[in-house]
Chain A
Amino acid sequence: MDWITIISTTVKAAIGVETVWYALAAIGINIHFGYTGLLNFGQSAFLAVAGYGLAVTVTVLGLPFWIGIGVGLLAAVLLAVVLGIPTLRLRADYLAIVTIAAAEIVRLVFRSVAFKDVFGGSDGRRGFSDGFYALNPFPEGEYGFGWLLFGERTLWVLVVGWILVGISCAIVFLLMKSPWGRVLKAIREDEDAVRSLGKNVFSYKMQSLILGGVIGCLGGFIYGLAYASVQPDIFGTETTFFAYTIVILGGAARVFGPVVGSAIFWVLLVLVNGVLSGAVESGIITFMDSTQVGPFRFLLVGLGLILLLVFRPQGIFGDKREIAIDAR
């Protein structure tokens, strides 16, 4: 087995593009689920409208990159408002069903043949990232040391991505220490009590949904820019579920929980993939072939999610008293 490649891809995964955009999606979910107790299963839709907002603005309308970012952010805010008005008064399980349904509607519309001229059907859109890479301060070349090398484009995406993760974490940290954040946590614990204190619970929930959605939608930008394309099926329900796994793995209602969770999640996925593929190729494992390694690691994700919830719902860093999973 080629251990050097396995280790280098694993180390790269810890800070890689997947880790960044899943971390951003998970930070958003952490605001919804971890702090406010909102079971938003439609997070992938926020990533999708942001990615497509950017892509369609630049490719179809021919407007500059920054306007595309603005349109994407605006689309995420709009989605949060549209999604929130009917659903935020609902109980947790209804909220979960409605948000997942809304996310599927968004995905089906993006991949439909009827809107192929705008959204590009199931192939999605590409060719909108030039404006972003034109800002790249790194000259062409490989950066890093030893086998830990990144091209200048990847490095630029990673730098911007991690800056966004850092800013998001700082925002979450400051907000959750503020009175506003304490109201959110109080809503998670008992929204009737909060209502009886004269707080407008609906308005706080809506603000939480918008904030988490906007932070999550940054993940959609990072995905679109890193791969220079967006496809509808990337933003399916499984993306949301993996982001939930990440939040629970890292520890819900913890500032760095989603970031650490995302890094661990992708390190494990890449490591298992590398080790198993290597073992299959060198004939150590004979009961699987190389096409089954991919599904097998996602099977492990499912198993891991079950075991986490059953035996350690607070994840790695969480506090069991702060998890909104026994509510109602």
Chain B
Amino acid sequence: MNGVKIVVTTESGQPVQEVTSDAKGTWEVPVEKAGKYKVTLDVSTLPPNLQVRGGSNTRTPTVYEGNPASVLFALQPKTAAGAEPEQSGGGGSAFWERAAQLTFEGLNLGLIIALAALGLSLIYGTTGLTNFAHGELVTLGALLAYAFNTGIGLHLIPAALIAVILAGGLGYAQDRFFWGQLRRRGTGIIAAMIVSIGVAIFLRYLFLILFGGQSEAFAQYNAQPGIQVGPISAAPKNFVAMGIELLVLIVVGVALLRTRTGKAARAVADNPAPAASSGINVDRVIRIIWTVGGAIAALAGIMLGLSQNLKFTMGQDILLLIFAGVTLGGLGTAFGALVGSIIVGLFIQVSTLWVPPELKSVGALAVLIIVLLFRPQGILGRRERIG
């Protein structure tokens, strides 16, 4: 319904914003804080022959941090006084529409997690390092793109490209000057894991110092009107982002299967010693994996920043979901990480049909624990001693 006035206030009645619905009848109000809000539809702006179903023209949605809350005003033709309003039988189809929408969002999240998980899994497979700083590599990509985007003023697309290349270079440098040196010193895998926690803390607070504690958005594409495709409504940027994510994943996947380096990488991930003895330069392969892993983690960060917001903890917040994806698919397997991540992403979003959105990650983490209980090698992993 076009041109209907909507007034949004906080629970205590402090006005937030007044908006008018657009041609498709949608409207959006950005709010600063999570909490309860009161949304009132101005009945006098409705066409004279329509009324709000149920009679009440106010809604009080609870907005959770980072999640938009949707408010629906179902309209119906005004019935003659005394006539019982017809009950709509559309509850079932509304459920499936929401399920489709959430599946789409879950796929989007799953692809982002998959980008990050691929690098983590390959690094684990080749070096045995459980890298707790991988979340910070995700943040790094987003913040680099943000710096080029708003700092220098480049359009987001070239800024993202430079950020991804730069992050790849930093991934290379990280292995060349840090992790590679540690391997040469013979640092054990548990020591390396704790070192990676140190790296994570170091980088996280470096980001906090340089970027600040607030949430930001990229200069372009941040508020796009949604388009409707079948039962799914999403901003066009989400479709493009998913296309890019899929493309990158396919390219990396094909490269792993077909190219010499990709085959070498899988061989090293399988078992480094025979790979080395068959003439593969293990150090070179590991360095390439760090470079590619850093670059696609950065891409994941940019895509995450595009669909949510940029924050210095954004990578840390999805780190455990990345771990969940990697473990679900099988630690160290490249394609397992892909499958596992997409399942985790879908699970998280679709589960909000039944659980409150703020608890959606709990389900994914619980699944992680249950998987380790019954099939510790993951979906695509090989049985081996893990106890």
Contact = CB atoms under 8 A, between A and B. Distances in A.
A152 interface: no
Interface in A219-249: 238, 241, 244-245, 248
Contact of A302 (B199, B323, B365): B199
B205 to A, nearest CB: 4
Interface string B182-223: 100101111101110111111111101100000000000000
Interface string A71-100: 000000000000000110111111011101
Of B64, B194, B208, B366, most buried by chain A (CB within 10 Å of CB) is B194
Interface in A146-204: none
A89 B387 contact: yes
B255 interface: no
B327 A241 contact: no
Given A114-B359, A299-B209, A97 B201 contact: no
Given A91-B387, A112-B356, A309-B195, A299 B190 contact: no
A292 interface: yes
A111 B324 CA distance: 21
Nearest to B201: A302
A248 B193 CA distance: 13
A237 B359 CA distance: 17
Contacts of B324: 101
B64 A113 contact: yes
B369 A327 contact: no
B193 A96 contact: yes
B368 interface: yes
A271 interface: no
A285 B60 CA distance: 49
A299 B202 contact: yes
B376 A90 contact: yes
A326 B193 CA distance: 11
A310 B202 CA distance: 15
A210 B319 CA distance: 27
Given A98-B368, A105-B366, A302-B199, A325 B359 contact: no
Contact of B369 (A86, A238, A241, A309): A86
Of A98, A101, A245, A292, most buried by chain B (CB within 10 Å of CB) is A101
Nearest to A113: B358
B191 A108 contact: no
A256 B198 CA distance: 23
A86 to B, nearest CB: 4
Nearest to B178: A306
Contact of A327 (B62, B188, B208, B362): B188
B218 to A, nearest CB: 23
Contacts of A304: 198
Overall SS of chain A's interface: helix
A108 B130 contact: no
A304 B205 CA distance: 13
A325 B386 CA distance: 17
A295 interface: yes
Contact of A325 (B194, B203, B204, B362): B194
A100 B320 contact: yes
A1 interface: no
A238 B201 contact: yes
B228 to A, nearest CB: 30
Overall SS of chain B's interface: helix
Contact of A93 (B187, B193, B197, B368): B193
B327 A97 contact: yes
Given A296-B205, A305-B195, A325 B190 contact: yes
A310 B386 CA distance: 26
Contact of A306 (B202, B365, B373): B202
B51 interface: no
A86 B367 CA distance: 12
Contacts of B372: 86-87, 90, 94, 98
A302 B133 CA distance: 11
A295 B381 CA distance: 40
Given A302-B199, A305-B197, A306-B199, A102 B386 contact: no
A261 to B, nearest CB: 14
Interface string A99-123: 0111011001101111000000000
B327 A108 contact: no
Contacts of A96: 130, 193
Interface string B343-387: 000000000000010110110011011001100100000000111
A326 B183 CA distance: 12
B174 to A, nearest CB: 12
Contact of A97 (B62, B130, B191): B130
Nearest to A108: B362
A298 interface: yes
Contact of A101 (B198, B205, B356, B369): B369
B209 A113 contact: no
B195 A310 contact: yes
A324 interface: yes
A91 B197 CA distance: 18
Given A92-B189, A94-B327, A112-B358, 6 more contacts: A90-B372, A113-B358, A302-B205, A305-B201, A306-B199, A309-B198
Q: Which 5 A-B pairs have the closest CB atoms?
A: A302-B202, A302-B201, A305-B198, A326-B188, A306-B198
26 contacts: A39-B193, A86-B369, A90-B386, A90-B387, A91-B385, A93-B189, A94-B327, A94-B376, A94-B386, A100-B320, A104-B320, A104-B361, A112-B358, A112-B359, A248-B194, A288-B209, A292-B209, A302-B204, A306-B195, A306-B199, A309-B198, A324-B190, A325-B191, A326-B188, A326-B190, A327-B188
